[in-house]
Amino acid sequence: MKYQSQKVAYVFFATCMLLLGLQIVYGFIMGFAHMGFDALHNIIPFNAARATHNNLLVAWLLMGFMGAAYYIVPEEADRELVSIKWAYVQWASFVVVAVTAVIGFHFNWWEGRKFLEIPRPLDYLVVVNVLLFIYLIGTTIWKGKRYTTTSIVLFFGLLMAALLYLPGMIPTENQTMDSYWRWWVVHLWVEGVWELIMGGILSYLLIKLTGVDREIIEKWLYIIVGFTFLSGILGTGHHYYYIGTPRYWLMIGGIFSALEPLAFLGMAIYAIGMARKGGRNHPNKNALSWTIGCAVISFVGAGFLGFAHTLPQVNMYTHGTLVTAMHGHMAFWGAYAMLILAIISYSLPIMTGRNTMNGVASGFAFWTSNIGMIAMTLAFAVSGIAQVYLERKMGMDFLTVQKEIQVHFFGLVLAAALFTLGIGVYIYAFIKSGIPTKELGTNPDYH
């Protein structure tokens, strides 16, 4: 670590750990409700648990991106962050908004629009907050001594993510247009600009961990994000098949979204290729596992499982069933959750001067959480496919089908317990690392 201001990242990462823990708690509430144990229904009905679970996810991923940017940008730009104080203000205000939103959900204060449940007044605060963040990062890069492709891609990813939040606020009285604009945010985030952020962070990690030449890594970065947008922008059409929008979206969305896995495949081949090619034997093996794991699992979860239901003929039957949940879990985990766990694994030892993620604990957290998530995905897959056949193909009644598939939610909860164990060990190691030290670069091994 070269600059004091990079340590700002620590509070963001610590918040990630807290919100991730809470997200898992709400996941269990829903898993049990699906099994018929809904004792909490009167305090936390399913829709409150659901909004909380999703928004905590989005909040901690955004926190992670911001923390990563505060860590990476000073180093790439070769100067301190323009203001450490304002970075902390930005962090604190983000936490306040997120906490207010989540508490509000429990009192029926929300907008019933999936993933964008945050009530309108808070939306404006989010915008102000993100503008402050963009300003801090942007001026640091601007005033810095060098512009690297990695920091530019990361910056534009973050800037566009902020801009794309706005279409979600376009007022409309038509349910169809409501959905239409909602996907501009949700889809163009996860299958567009967030992939830019992902590409930027992965490149940084690969440069550091493998020692491969920056020029080569950054060239591939352009090609991959090029594929992302080539397929992902018009791929938005896979959400416009059956919501009351014109029929031509079946064709356009089908063709372009079917190409989306290529970008993820590219990302996986790229990460593995660079790791092989790299001569550098970096001591932080754990960070490398998470980095490669991120690239591989995102291909499986987003690329492969996304493709599984993206063709309109298939989506006609799977749309609005648990098949979607199967894909959503593994895609978010692989592409974005693992990405943030990777950058934390890499940067934490450098910030605190201590590596608690070595040896048995690191392997345990990595493998247990991944095996747990794969098993969860399988449980969702089995229940989703059963639901498609019984409800959509045979015409059985919704609740009757839910009874048939209840047993798979028992499997889901077991798998989730395994997953939680892995995450628990990760969080434990995070806490054990302590807080950042005063001196710079106390642990030269981990640079």
Q: Which stretch binds another protein (CB under 8 A): 6-14, 279-287, 319-327, 360-368?
A: 319-327
Count, residues near Fe ion per rule CB under 5 A: 2
Q: Which of 28, 32, 46, 156 binds ligand HEC (CB under 6 A)?
A: 46
Distance CA 21, CA 424 (A): 8
H/E element, 242: none
Between 182 and 187, CB nearer to Fe ion: 187
The amino acid sitting at 133 is F
Distance CA 339, CA 293 (A): 9
Asked whether position 400 contacts ligand HEC by CB under 6 A, the answer is: no
The amino acid sitting at 31 is G
Asked whether position 327 contacts another protein by CB under 8 A, the answer is: no
Between 395 and 444, CB nearer to ligand HEC: 395
Asked whether position 45 contacts ligand HEC by CB under 6 A, the answer is: yes
> Cβ(335)–Cβ(296) under 8 Å?
no
DSSP 374-409: HHHHHHHHHHHHHHIIIIIIS---HHHHHHHHHHHH
Angle between helices 149-163 and 46-77 (to 10 degrees): 150
Asked whether position 165 contacts ligand HEC by CB under 6 A, the answer is: no
Between 129 and 257, CB nearer to ligand HEM: 257
H/E element, 235: helix 214-235
Asked whether position 187 contacts Fe ion by CB under 5 A, the answer is: yes
Between 195 and 391, CB nearer to ligand HEC: 391
Q: Which of 96, 108, 143, 434 binds another protein (CB under 8 A)?
A: 108
DSSP 346-381: HHHHHHHS---S-THHHHHHHHHHHHHHHHHHHHHH
Q: Which of 162, 163, 325, 382 binds another protein (CB under 8 A)?
A: 325
Asked whether position 406 contacts ligand HEC by CB under 6 A, the answer is: no
Asked whether position 85 contacts another protein by CB under 8 A, the answer is: no
> Which stretches of the chain bind ligand HEM, using CB under 6 A?
114, 190-191, 238-239, 257, 260-261, 298, 302-303, 306-307, 309-310, 315, 318-319, 324, 327-328, 331-332, 335
- Residue 383: C-alpha distances to residues 322, 324, 361, 414 (Å): 7, 11, 33, 15
Between 53 and 319, CB nearer to ligand HEM: 319
Asked whether position 37 contacts another protein by CB under 8 A, the answer is: no
Start-to-end C-alpha separation, the chain: 7
The CB-of-42 to ligand HEC minimum distance in angstroms stands at 10
Between 102 and 190, CB nearer to ligand HEM: 190
Residues of this chain that interact with ligand HEC (CB under 6 A) are 45-47, 399
